[in-house]
Amino acid sequence: MNLKNKIALVAGATRGAGRAMAIKLGEAGATVYVTGRTTRREQSPMSRKETIEDSAELVTKAGGTGIAVQVDHTDEAQVKELIQKIKDEQNGQLDILINDIWGGDPLTEWGKDIADHDLHKGLQMQDQAVRAHIITAHYAVPIMKKNKSGLIIEITDGTDYNYRQNFYYSLAKVSNIHMAKAMAEDLKDYSITAVALTPGFLRSEAMLEYFGVTEENWKEGVNVDPHFIASETPFYIGEAVKHLAMDEDVHRFNGRTLSTWELSEVYDFKDADGTQPHWGNYFKEHVEE
């Protein structure tokens, strides 16, 4: 329960990695504000069944305190209201910010270049995955500056600045990396740590459905994509976040782009099924040409 007196905000915690990161922070005792657009009364355009109330209850069940707040992080007024709510309820304390807003999967048109890709879908992706992160950080960081402490984690895809096979997707994910690096420089005098963090091949609820499998028989997904054999559950990145949050020397990572597989070696944690996936090694051996 190393995070018992810590306050966290996981922006984009309705499902997948966001939900798992919130649960793992709760497992360590944190109070976690979980935000997203889908509630038990209202569904987002993603049209999925998972809700922020479910996520908050799972945080509490894990040992923390989960607080669900419906927020569209592209709406500045809603984000401002959220941060004020946290300040009021937690006596001006916010220790951890996880920027995990995405929702870009249905917006990505793989195989199309900038000329052929739907412009409005591409711009919406930047709105959700970049602008929303900026808005959230803008209003959350002043709390950390005042308290001269804090951990900011930008969730991305990949550890480098290389092209990610789609103009808009690549722009969004590289932007998340640079946001972490820029905030690390901007905020280093306030003892605030900012990093980017990537999972490997994420076996989320949506990905399991896409491959037509469940967590119980997930390996059958290799019939669709052989690289699925190296996938990891959302709880792997959850473990990574939990260990970063508990690390008293986390500032040594300031400005870096970290990965689940790297941190699993640093902190010696495993995935939910007891394995220790290493997408970095797998990618070099089986994917990279």
pLDDT above 90 (res 238): yes
Give yes or no for a contact between 144 and 94, defined as CB atoms under 8 angstroms apart: yes
pTM of the predicted structure, to 2 decimals: 0.96
Q: pLDDT tens for residues 252-271?
A: 999 999 999 999 999 999 99
Confidence (pLDDT) at 289 = 63
The reported pLDDT for the residue numbered 49 is 82
Sequence spans of domains, the chain: 7-201+234-271
Q: What single string gives the DSSP state of each residue in 4-44?
A: TT-EEEEES-SSHHHHHHHHHHHHTT-EEEEEES--SS---
pLDDT at 111 over 80: yes
Helices within the chain (DSSP H only): 16-27, 52-62, 76-89, 119-126, 132-147, 167-186, 205-210, 234-246, 260-267, 279-282
Mean pLDDT of the chain: 96
CATH T-level assignment (fold) for domain 7-201+234-271: Rossmann fold (3.40.50)
Instruction: Give the pLDDT of residue 44.
Output: 79
pLDDT 10s digits, 45-59:
777 888 999 999 999
Residue 1 in this model has a pLDDT that exceeds 90:
no
Mean pLDDT of 211-217: 95
